[in-house]
Chain A
Amino acid sequence: MTGPFQIEYAGSADTSAQVPATPRNVPNRGGPVNPSATDLRAKFAAAIRRVDVVWNETNVYVAPEAALDIIRWLHDDPSQRYDYLADITAVEYRDLEQPVEVVWHLRSLPYRRFLRVKAQLTKNRPLEIPSVWSIYKSADWLERECYDMFGIKFVGHPDLRRILMWEQYREGFPLRKDFPLRGRFSRAEQLRQALAANPEARYSMEELSIADAFEDLPTDMRQRLRGGERTGE
Chain B
Amino acid sequence: MQKWLLIVGLTYLGILIFLSWYSQRKVQSKEDFIMAGSKLGLILGFMTFSATLFSAFTLMGMPDFSRVHGVGSWMFLAFSDAGMVFLILWFGYTLRKRVANVEFKGMSHLLQEIYGLKWAGYIYFLAVFIFLVPYVAIQIRGVAVFLELGFEDLQVPAWLWSLGIVGFVLLYSSAGGLKAIVYADFVQGTSLLIVVWLIGFACLENLGGWSNMFSQLEAKNVALLSAPGPKGLLTSPFLIASFMAIMMIPVTQPQLSTRLVIMKDIKAMNKMAVAVGFFAMLVIFPTLIIGFYGAINYPDASASDFIGHALIKDQAPILGALAVIGLFAAAMSTADSQLFALGNELRGLLSNKMGESLLPIRLAVLGFAASALLFSLFSSDQLVLLARVSFAGTALTGPLIILGLVTSKPQGSFMVWTTTLGIIAFLMAQATIIPLKIGGLGIDLCLFLILALAAVGNYWVRKDK
- On whether the two chains bind one another, the answer is no
- Residues of B near any A CB (own CB < 8 A): none
